[in-house]
A and B are shown apart, each in its own frame.
Chain A
């Protein structure tokens, strides 16, 4: 096998020192001369008509530079369904609805000004349950929204999520065992360490710069350009510059009201305007993971071979539409392709309510669907009298398979993952005792080679090398803490035969960096990695070409290793990289070494039937847990946690483990403790005291198993790992609890109350 110098090494994140010493500049730290502070007034009612707004007192407060409402801003619409506006006029539909905004010379004044704005409301009846909202006569969230064949006013969105493969009804008839259950998952939120924020600024020509912490710089630039047009500034430019990002997890895959508000305030005041969320705002005014009601049926033969999977889902869309409403497109992936299942039907409805609206969050629907699927795998295995381990092995995916959704499986280490987990947990010995201790497992499939959700799934890279061999990489990718800069540096260094410390990665500015579709779908290592590698290859060709003359050797016989270009035939013939570069640059008619590459993976958009090879390759994994359940209190303790992942190739095993630890920790929170508690649309726990994100003390000792299948399309064989770490966590824990005490909890989080309640029910 090839011997790598930079790839496969445990290299600490390039920005680690800066971050842990507090030197890194986050949006919160950013100050621009003359900068004003913006603050947003939210609706106190989940559903109400705005009768009047009086901002006169606020405007008179010394230090206040602008007050905006839904009545004095241009008609900007945003969100992919275009049902949201920066500030609401006429009507508010949720408690996070922005009603007015203030820019002032300091934050205290801005806050004081909010208190001086008088808004009169006429309260309307609200609807907070999607099943209620679907009924005839339910309050309408957007009266003008129509749907169905008759184009009648409705709360049901016109998003016909529907995947059908094979014949589910026929398969059901021919199944020896059929399980039918209802699962429920609720809102959880990203809990980014850094709260949301931005600074917007116009130059004298009305070109816009937004300092941002987005995961989608290029798409954000497009959204802001559209907003400029709506503001009457057609043809003006939008530039997005990222500061250090304090965590993303999907929360920054869309543009939000606060960003448009900052832009509008900056335009009105002609000054830079900064809006940064308080922690409370971060909890109630950002978009959590999509909740769902999941009705699922699966069947199998006597021998335990899956026959069909039939799922209906209702998604609480909330009052507006962001990417949460499109999570069914990713839920289709595990539904059609986790384990081999020949007949599949999936129908999902998104319904407007007066609740908060949802967004992408690590896994993008996959954790919700996998909770239902892989919990029920255990239920079905028990009905068929088969050990859940054997049941999974019998139905495991294999390389070369084409799934019912037309996914072409390339590398697939699922079987290895299942086996590894079973072995680590001593499965056959540990399982089935019902003595308060139990083991459980669950698996995952996720896109591992990009995901063509837009027309392009591409990423560009530009590389230049200076006279001393410093390599500057300008990538479209976004490092939001996951460490993509480091991984890209490793890939480039490997390709160019230099060291990681020779590589400087810049990803921060749309005026400098090439286009990229965004940091989503666990695609960055795969797509940006392949792109960076492509650019590095081009640069290398140039270098060898130039060196060929001075070393007098043909380029094919040259290579670079540890900053030296040498002849593979005669290693004595060599020259330091810097020397070659200087010679090229300073010679008369000299040249600089630069290269660019745009990589767009060879994957497909889903077609009208939602089929197609969404990703070039797919990632697999299995998590196994051993738990102990206190039968008197219902408390669940995790004794062991094993996470096996087929990652293709670990470019940086340390960062990879970091992704798995972080993912699984978020997953345990999802399974056991975390939930945004909404009562009549109000987030009752907008703080870390009552939102039970887990702490360092709660984290079990994760045993990570890396299965390397060396994918033929991945950069050095790598596949994505950003999201998979939390996808199978909740069902693995639910299954372990069942094994420990014989109760099956079908709604998240699995609180001690639910466990104890179920134990009591069972004892009756």
Chain B
């Protein structure tokens, strides 16, 4: 492995100054689970690694009207947050399937989105949750919606001398549920063949209906029963990973569902639309036709799962597998 210097600044300012000073020769390092792999594979050869490990405050999860996640927050910390499990379930799903516990103990959410892999597990949950990315350089601080953050495989809007300071996620609307599914070939240490996130906010009145809260019947049959009740989807976001060069929102599919009465048939149509607007490709990890087919299946299932999490909040069942 090529040798490098390792610097450990104590403040953001110091880090930014170092970043400025070393320019192209430097690379930020958080948990190092991407950076070190790339150095070993010789796809990256920094002379200096600037660690964000010693900067106080970057590894905190706070709630102040909105959810604030520091870039150095590890996946394991997110996995253990009750608040995130309850109100931002898609993100909790994603980290619970990321790598292995050993990886989750060191790998960070900041690193995950900065690597900008089309397969990044936290990317699609962050997309459906409406995340804003706070970016800082010596000169300025700016906020970019996550939709605009990813530019291509391995590419982000981050410019030279910039780092991520914070991820800000708004408080969800009442009666909102979200879910993420990682389609993978084994149950740990895998990247997704496809990642699908959904978030649905439902019409409030209908959901408090008592007989629904205590039901244990499958969601599709509940949907059936509710058709007369006009259960409306007030807000919806659908995001796909490994379905395009960057993690993407399925905007056409969302438009089809937003403000509409929920039904089995409509969800099917929404999923079909999502599959059409995706641009999956063939790779050794999966074939395009299969990815497209699975978007159809999984968008519907994740929409169902989101609804289930609104209707049966006590049974926050995490989708271990699809059955």
Interface residue? B225 (CB, 8 A)? no
**Which chain B residues border A696 with CB–CB below 8 Å?**
188
Contact with B along A744-763 (1 / 0, CB 8 A): 00000001110010000000
B2, B189, B322: the one within 8 Å of A633 (CB): B322
**Which chain A residues border B100 with CB–CB below 8 Å?**
695
**Which chain A residues border B321 with CB–CB below 8 Å?**
635, 637
A633-B297, A690-B284, A753-B290 as given contacts; A673 in contact with B186, CB under 8 Å = yes
Q: Are A630 and B189 in contact (CB under 8 A)?
A: no
8 A–B contacts from the bound complex (CB under 8 Å): A632-B322, A633-B322, A679-B284, A689-B191, A690-B285, A696-B188, A697-B186, A698-B187
Q: Are A694 and B322 in contact (CB under 8 A)?
A: no
Interface residue? B183 (CB, 8 A)? yes
> A21 vs B323: C-alpha distance in the bound complex, in angstroms?
39
Q: Are B290 and A635 in contact (CB under 8 A)?
A: no
Interface residue? B151 (CB, 8 A)? no
**Which chain A residues border B285 with CB–CB below 8 Å?**
690
Instruction: Find the A residue at minimum CB distance from B1.
Output: A108
> A752 vs B323: C-alpha distance in the bound complex, in angstroms?
15
Extra A-B contacts (6), CB below 8 Å, given A673-B186, A692-B186, A695-B100 = A108-B2, A630-B323, A633-B294, A633-B297, A695-B186, A753-B290
Q: Are A630 and B290 in contact (CB under 8 A)?
A: no
A673-B185, A695-B186 as given contacts; A753 in contact with B287, CB under 8 Å = yes
B284, B287, B298: the one within 8 Å of A684 (CB): B284
Most B Cβ at <10 Å: residue of A628, A633, A689, A751 = A633
Interface residue? A685 (CB, 8 A)? yes
Shortest CB-to-CB span from B154 to chain A, Å, is 16
**Which chain B residues border A635 with CB–CB below 8 Å?**
321-322
Q: Which of B279-301 contact A (CB under 8 A)?
A: 284-287, 290, 293-294, 297-298
> A690 vs B189: C-alpha distance in the bound complex, in angstroms?
10
Interface residue? A688 (CB, 8 A)? yes
Interface residue? B190 (CB, 8 A)? yes
Give the interface size bracket for A toward B.
Answer: 20 to 34
Q: Are A692 and B190 in contact (CB under 8 A)?
A: yes
Shortest CB-to-CB span from B268 to chain A, Å, is 12
Interface residue? A677 (CB, 8 A)? yes
> A753 vs B288: C-alpha distance in the bound complex, in angstroms?
11
Q: Which of B199-215 contact A (CB under 8 A)?
A: none
Shortest CB-to-CB span from B281 to chain A, Å, is 15
Q: Are A697 and B188 in contact (CB under 8 A)?
A: yes
Q: Are B188 and A756 in contact (CB under 8 A)?
A: no
Q: Are A756 and B189 in contact (CB under 8 A)?
A: no
Q: Are B189 and A689 in contact (CB under 8 A)?
A: yes
Shortest CB-to-CB span from A707 to chain B, Å, is 31
Shortest CB-to-CB span from A407 to chain B, Å, is 38
Q: Are B188 and A695 in contact (CB under 8 A)?
A: yes
**Which chain A residues border B189 with CB–CB below 8 Å?**
688-689, 695
**Which chain A residues border B187 with CB–CB below 8 Å?**
695, 697-698
Shortest CB-to-CB span from A641 to chain B, Å, is 15
**Which chain B residues border A628 with CB–CB below 8 Å?**
323
Shortest CB-to-CB span from A239 to chain B, Å, is 34
Instruction: Find the A residue at minimum CB distance from B286.
Output: A753
Q: Which of B293-312 contact A (CB under 8 A)?
A: 293-294, 297-298
Instruction: Find the B residue at minimum CB distance from A679.
Output: B284
**Which chain B residues border A690 with CB–CB below 8 Å?**
284-285
**Which chain A residues border B323 with CB–CB below 8 Å?**
628, 630, 637
**Which chain B residues border A630 with CB–CB below 8 Å?**
322-323
Shortest CB-to-CB span from B264 to chain A, Å, is 14
**Which chain B residues border A637 with CB–CB below 8 Å?**
321, 323
**Which chain A residues border B293 with CB–CB below 8 Å?**
756
Q: Are A692 and B284 in contact (CB under 8 A)?
A: no
**Which chain B residues border A673 with CB–CB below 8 Å?**
185-186
**Which chain A residues border B287 with CB–CB below 8 Å?**
753
Instruction: Find the B residue at minimum CB distance from A685.
Output: B284
Q: Are B186 and A677 in contact (CB under 8 A)?
A: no
Contact with B along A614-637 (1 / 0, CB 8 A): 000000000000001010110101
Q: Are B183 and A633 in contact (CB under 8 A)?
A: yes
**Which chain B residues border A684 with CB–CB below 8 Å?**
284
Instruction: Find the A residue at minimum CB distance from B183.
Output: A633
**Which chain A residues border B290 with CB–CB below 8 Å?**
752-753, 756
Q: Which of B216-259 contact A (CB under 8 A)?
A: none
Shortest CB-to-CB span from B194 to chain A, Å, is 10
Shortest CB-to-CB span from A93 to chain B, Å, is 24
A637-B321, A692-B190, A753-B290 as given contacts; A677 in contact with B284, CB under 8 Å = yes
Contact with B along A284-318 (1 / 0, CB 8 A): 00000000000000000000000000000000000
Shortest CB-to-CB span from B270 to chain A, Å, is 16
> A635 vs B186: C-alpha distance in the bound complex, in angstroms?
10
> A85 vs B280: C-alpha distance in the bound complex, in angstroms?
44
Q: Which of B3-50 contact A (CB under 8 A)?
A: 3
Q: Are A692 and B185 in contact (CB under 8 A)?
A: yes
Q: Which of A663-694 contact B (CB under 8 A)?
A: 673, 677, 679, 684-685, 688-690, 692, 694
Shortest CB-to-CB span from B292 to chain A, Å, is 12
> A753 vs B282: C-alpha distance in the bound complex, in angstroms?
12
A108, A698, A753: the one within 8 Å of B186 (CB): A698
> A690 vs B183: C-alpha distance in the bound complex, in angstroms?
14
5 cross-chain pairs, A with B, having the tightest CB-CB distances, nearest first: A697-B187, A695-B188, A697-B188, A632-B297, A692-B185
**Which chain B residues border A756 with CB–CB below 8 Å?**
290, 293
Shortest CB-to-CB span from A297 to chain B, Å, is 32
Contact with A along B148-161 (1 / 0, CB 8 A): 00000000000000
Q: Which of B164-201 contact A (CB under 8 A)?
A: 183, 185-191
Shortest CB-to-CB span from B319 to chain A, Å, is 12
> A696 vs B102: C-alpha distance in the bound complex, in angstroms?
14
**Which chain A residues border B322 with CB–CB below 8 Å?**
630, 632-633, 635
Contact with A along B45-59 (1 / 0, CB 8 A): 000000000000000
**Which chain A residues border B286 with CB–CB below 8 Å?**
753
> A684 vs B286: C-alpha distance in the bound complex, in angstroms?
13
> A224 vs B189: C-alpha distance in the bound complex, in angstroms?
40
> A677 vs B285: C-alpha distance in the bound complex, in angstroms?
10
**Which chain A residues border B191 with CB–CB below 8 Å?**
689
**Which chain A residues border B284 with CB–CB below 8 Å?**
677, 679, 684-685, 690
Shortest CB-to-CB span from B138 to chain A, Å, is 35
Shortest CB-to-CB span from A109 to chain B, Å, is 12
Shortest CB-to-CB span from B282 to chain A, Å, is 11
Shortest CB-to-CB span from A747 to chain B, Å, is 15
Most A Cβ at <10 Å: residue of B100, B186, B191, B284 = B186
Shortest CB-to-CB span from B66 to chain A, Å, is 34
> A637 vs B320: C-alpha distance in the bound complex, in angstroms?
12
> A108 vs B298: C-alpha distance in the bound complex, in angstroms?
47
Shortest CB-to-CB span from A698 to chain B, Å, is 5
Shortest CB-to-CB span from B198 to chain A, Å, is 16
> A753 vs B194: C-alpha distance in the bound complex, in angstroms?
13
